[in-house]
Amino acid sequence: MDIRLAELKDISQLIRMRWDFTVEHDESKKDSSFEDFKQECQSFLEKAMNSDQWFIWVAEINGQIVSHIYIELIQKVPRPGRITYPFAYMTNVYTVPEYRNKGIGSDILRTVNKWINENNYEFVIVWPSEDSIHYYKKNGYVSSTEPMEYVPSKD
């Protein structure tokens, strides 16, 4: 197994995995247009991979991406008297169903955690599903107070 940062050549696999991840959790989405989604996701991934803001970690076995974790760096406003490091927002954590419960997700998460430490990022936030809380806890994550949010009206 190879754990590495995603490359442009991985985009088609990442698009398919994002589609599968979404449909797995909300079957009503399978009636959406895959072609429309593919175009939007392709554009997003190309921009993300060419930026210093997004880092997409993948676990690959025999040329197939079987797991991934997306990290977006969030820059913080500098404060006097200290060096300011960004924090990381973790999202789109997914392992292909037939590769689950084999330690692959934990392997890729440990790689991400090591990278976070090596780069002095301040912390990582993730909003886990109810089913994934154990996965994060066994990999060193702790629960925190829910953030507040504002949702603009769609009037």
Q: What is the pLDDT of residue 13?
A: 98
CATH label, 2-136, candidates 3.30.465.10, 3.30.1960.10, 3.40.630.30, 3.20.20.70: 3.40.630.30
As a whole number of angstroms, the distance between CA 126 and CA 8 comes to 25
pLDDT band at 27 (very low <50, low <70, confident <90, very high): confident
Encode pLDDT of 41-71 as tens digits: 999 999 999 999 999 999 999 999 999 999 9
Encode pLDDT of 57-115 as tens digits: 999 999 999 999 999 999 999 999 989 999 999 999 999 999 999 999 999 999 999 99
Q: What is the pLDDT of residue 117?
A: 94
Q: What is the pLDDT of residue 148?
A: 75
Encode pLDDT of 121-140 as tens digits: 999 999 998 889 999 999 99
Q: Which residue type, as a one-letter code, is found at position 95?
A: T
Phi, psi of 62 (to 5 degrees): 50, 45
pLDDT band at 119 (very low <50, low <70, confident <90, very high): very high
* Count of positions (residues) in the chain: 155
Return the SS3 of 122. coil
As a whole number of angstroms, the distance between CA 115 and CA 82 comes to 21
CA-based max dimension of the chain? 53
Q: What is the pLDDT of residue 32?
A: 85
Q: What's the gap between Cα 31 and its chain centre?
A: 24
Closest CA to 17 of 66, 89, 71, 70: 66
**Gap between the terminal Cα atoms of the chain:** 49
Q: Taking 90 as the threshold, does the pLDDT of residue 1 lie above it? A: yes
